[in-house]
Amino acid sequence: ARMSAQRVRFFKKEITLDPMTSYERRIVHAVLTEYPDIVTESIGNEPNRKVIIKPFEGR
């Protein structure tokens, strides 16, 4: 997750991670809160929910 966050920060493009369990998604969201310049979002339906990591476009 951290490596993907670094890619998002460098290239300024969102990345969609592979489907994962709710527990794994929760860990990704929690770990990536330490990066103020990116945001995470879960999309899809179980069992194929994925996490999207995006650059933060603040106002």
- CATH number, residue 22: 3.30.1370.50
Phi-psi region of 12 (alpha: psi -120 to 50; beta: other; left: phi over 0): left
Do residues 3 and 14 lie in contact, with contact meaning Cβ atoms separated by under 8 Å?
A: no
CA 23, 29, 30, 31 dihedral sign is: positive
The count of domains in the chain is 1
- In the numeric block, the tokens 């951290």 are attached to 2
Mean pLDDT of 27-42: 97
**Does the pLDDT of residue 58 top 90, yes or no?**
no
> Confidence band (pLDDT; 50, 70, 90) for 59?
low
The share of the chain scoring above pLDDT 70, in percent, equals: 98
> Confidence band (pLDDT; 50, 70, 90) for 53?
very high
- Cα 18 to Cα 1: distance, rounded to the nearest angstrom: 11
Residue 11 sits in which domain range? 2-55
Enumerate residues 6+ apart whose C-beta is below 8 A from 25. 42, 49, 51
